[in-house]
Amino acid sequence: MKENQNTDIIELTDKNIFHTYSRYPLIVKKGKGVRVWDEKGRQYLDFLSGIAVCNLGHCHPAVVKAAQSQLENLVHVSNLFYTEPQVEIAELLKGQSFADKIFFCNSGAEANEAALKLARKYAHGFSGGKRFEIITMKYSFHGRTFATLTATGQEKFHNGFSPLLPGFKYVPFNDINAVEEAVTESTCAVMLEPIQGEGGVNVPAENYLKEVRQLCDREKILLIFDEVQTGMGRTGKIFAYEHYGVEPDIMTLAKALAGGLPAGAMLANKKVAQSFVPGTHASTFGGNPVVMAACVAVMKELVDGEALENCRRMGQYFFKELNGLKEKYSDIISEIRGKGLMIGMELKIDGNEIVKQCLDEAIIINCTLDRILRFLPPLIVKKDEIDGCVDVLDRVLGRQ
Ligand SMILES: *Cc1c(COP(=O)(O)O)cnc(C)c1O
């Protein structure tokens, strides 16, 4: 594997690894800050952050250092024992959120799986099993395990996997009447992303989340926020719910939680959390010391560093620049929406081709639902890097 190493990597991937992803023909060798490099040393601006994972940029020094030093002391010991990094990150997360208790796991789907189980367990306790139904949103995305796939309100992900889990209902996002109509005596929870990610970067209407909260309180229904993508500073606050003056009963985190290492967390208030007791839920790797040490570094950086402020400032600048493109290409671009550095550009044409052409010009972006370009740069992105991305978009859109 020397001479044709690079063709080999692509060929051998396609030959040996399940073809569950359509990949771009780019072999990434190195990452630092907002940049990644391929095997020929060509540099790319990463405006996707590994899909909202590397929020502090690639290989953030504090994260690398924290993981490295933990790696040399203790890698794993299981949850049959106590470890310090779990406590440290739990205190930090609690200090910044509504939560009283936290369960650690390894991914977004697992965090949502835990949230769905907790909601049912809690409702089971006071309703004798009569309340089990969960209302989620159309165009939501919650993961690929059976429960989280069922919770995901997009048929294209369901195809071929029926029967799905019973007890789920879908309503349109941003329609409080639809939620109200969907509630029955069997409803135990409403679950939603404060800003929908995979479903097209859909921002909640002015009072929507407040109205959902009020409805849940009135009907004694739990409110679950999936902040797997919106959490950890992405929208300019540590958690997106902080923008909207509401608190959920349960919140899930993953993606950027450990700065690139796999981590997930399910956070809940006291009332709900006590429904989980020894034996109700578990994860072998959940709360792994190396991963938790990385989480601590990420959280400290968000709380004490400049990333959040930069995200808000650069988010506004990027928004303004993208709206400039919208004026110029009003025949192609229909809307710019989002919050902080979670931004979508809805097109009137196929976006996949635009993504490819941007990649040819060394800019990594993404497209969801075939028509919405998604920008998720690291929160540390600088003005000149945004200018670089906007210049390339300008050129690429000018050719359409
Ligand atoms: C990515 C994502 C998930 C799934 O996370 P995995 O780590 O891929 O399981 C769940 N919810 C939202 C909102 C996401 O963006």
**Mean pLDDT across the stretch 277-288?**
97
Ligand 1 pocket, residue 310 CB under 6 Å: no
Distance of alpha carbon 212 from alpha carbon 189, whole angstroms: 11
384 falls in which pLDDT band (50, 70, 90)? very high
| Residue 338 region by backbone torsions, left for phi larger than 0, else alpha for psi between -120 and 50, else beta | left
**Mean pLDDT across the stretch 256-264?**
98
Q: Which pLDDT score, from 0 to 100, does residue 5 have?
A: 59
**Mean pLDDT across the stretch 374-398?**
98
Catalytic residue at 141? yes
Q: Which of 47, 103, 168, 226 is catalytic?
A: 226
Who contacts 263 (Cβ-Cβ below 8 Å, separation ≥6)?
104, 105, 106, 254, 257, 291, 292, 294, 295
4 falls in which pLDDT band (50, 70, 90)? low
**Mean pLDDT across the stretch 80-87?**
97
Q: Is the pLDDT of residue 1 over 60?
A: no
Q: Best of 112, 225, 229, 234 to mutate for ligand 1, by most ligand atoms within 8 A of CB? A: 229
Ligand 1 pocket, residue 229 CB under 6 Å: yes
Helices (H), the chain: 5-16, 49-52, 61-71, 84-96, 108-127, 146-151, 155-158, 176-182, 208-219, 270-273, 289-304, 307-328, 352-360, 383-398
**Mean pLDDT across the stretch 182-201?**
98
Q: Which pLDDT score, from 0 to 100, does residue 320 have?
A: 98
Q: Whose alpha carbon is nearest atom 15 of ligand 1?
A: 229
Q: Is the pLDDT of residue 277 over 60?
A: yes
Q: Which two tokens stand for residue 220?
A: 């004694």
Q: Is the pLDDT of residue 3 over 70?
A: no
Tens of pLDDT, residue by residue over 311-328, are 999 999 999 999 999 999
Cβ atoms of residues 359 and 351 within 8 Å: no
Residue 81: what residue type?
Answer: F
**Mean pLDDT across the stretch 35-62?**
97
Between the CA of 108 and the centroid of ligand 1 the distance, in Å, is 4
Between the CA of 112 and the centroid of ligand 1 the distance, in Å, is 8
Q: Is the pTM of this model over 0.85?
A: yes
> pLDDT averaged over the chain?
97
Q: Whose alpha carbon is nearest atom 11 of ligand 1?
A: 142
**Mean pLDDT across the stretch 204-227?**
98
Ligand 1 pocket, residue 340 CB under 6 Å: no
**Mean pLDDT across the stretch 242-269?**
98
Q: Is the pLDDT of residue 13 over 70?
A: yes
Tens of pLDDT, residue by residue over 102-119, are 999 999 999 999 999 999
Tens of pLDDT, residue by residue over 148-164, are 999 999 999 999 999 99
Between the CA of 228 and the centroid of ligand 1 the distance, in Å, is 6
Q: Is the pLDDT of residue 254 over 70?
A: yes
Catalytic residue at 38? no
